[in-house]
């Protein structure tokens, strides 16, 4: 994780879970993360309809895309080629309680691009049986046009699980990530010399 906002949300989530696989949604106190609240979001995975949609989205994130994201399908923001990889990454988060780091390029209506980093973290299952995940998406740097020229699609650069050993005392510098993946046409290439098991299916 390169962005301070990603590290801050991970630390907060890790402290809340206190050694459990994931914290409860009710444990999240917005005032505790007010500095990064505008970049955070919560996704809901409907087990009945097999959809992933924004349940909540911060003001900066909505402004970057030029619209209210609440209720919007999360996969609608991604290129069609990336839909499967994104769905698989989210499945890994809620099914295996495994945080995921995404790197992607967000493209505007006038074909400008900005590099983003997103961290997606598991939450305990909701009472209705649906899964929810907590996330944050922040640009690596903020171009002058962001917010004035709405982002319309995301293009995945790589997706990797964040391996956090231990309990709530884990700090970002102790995190290890699985090998990065890169897309070449229909192929996904993993950096490194050993085969790595792909994340689970949605």
Using one digit for the tens of pLDDT, what is the confidence trace for 32-80?
999 999 999 999 999 888 899 999 999 999 999 999 999 999 999 999 9
Greatest extent of the chain over all pairs of C-alpha atoms, in Å: 45
Q: Which H or E run includes 13?
A: helix 4-17
β-strands 40-46, 131-139 pairing: antiparallel
Question: Quick check: pTM over 0.85?
Answer: no
Q: Which two tokens stand for residue 188?
A: 């996904």
Q: What's the confidence (pLDDT) of residue 129? A: 84
φ/ψ (deg, to 5) at 19:
90, -10
Q: What is the C-alpha separation between 27 and 118, in angstroms, rounded?
A: 21
β-strands 176-177, 40-46 pairing: unpaired
- Domain range 4-190, CATH class: alpha beta
Q: What is the C-alpha separation between 188 and 171, in angstroms, rounded?
A: 30
Percent residues over pLDDT 90 in the chain = 73
Q: What's the confidence (pLDDT) of residue 164? A: 59
Mean pLDDT by 10 residues, the chain (202 residues): 90 95 94 96 92 96 97 95 95 95 97 98 90 97 96 96 55 40 42 37 34
Q: What's the confidence (pLDDT) of residue 168? A: 35
* Residue pair 142/64 in contact by the 8 Å Cβ criterion: no
């Amino acid at each position: 994780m390169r962005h301070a906002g990603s590290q801050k949300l991970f630390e907060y989530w890790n402290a809340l879970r206190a050694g459990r696989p994931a914290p409860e949604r009710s444990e999240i106190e917005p005032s505790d993360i007010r500095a990064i609240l505008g970049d955070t979001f919560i996704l809901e995975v409907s087990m009945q309809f097999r959809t992933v949609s924004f349940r909540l989205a911060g003001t900066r994130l909505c402004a970057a895309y030029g619209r209210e994201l609440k209720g919007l399908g999360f996969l609608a923001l991604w290129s069609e080629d990336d839909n499967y990889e994104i769905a698989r990454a989210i499945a890994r988060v809620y099914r295996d309680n495994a945080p995921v780091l995404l790197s992607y390029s967000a493209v505007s209506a006038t074909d400008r691009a900005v590099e983003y980093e997103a961290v997606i973290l598991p939450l305990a299952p909701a009472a209705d049986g649906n899964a929810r995940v907590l996330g944050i998406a922040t640009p690596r740097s903020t171009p002058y046009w962001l917010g004035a020229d709405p982002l319309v699609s995301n293009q995945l650069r790589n997706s990797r699980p964040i391996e956090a050993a231990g309990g709530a005392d884990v700090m970002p510098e102790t995190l290890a990530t699985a090998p990065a993946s890169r897309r070449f046409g229909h192929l996904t290439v993993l950096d490194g010399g050993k085969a790595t098991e792909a994340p689970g299916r949605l």
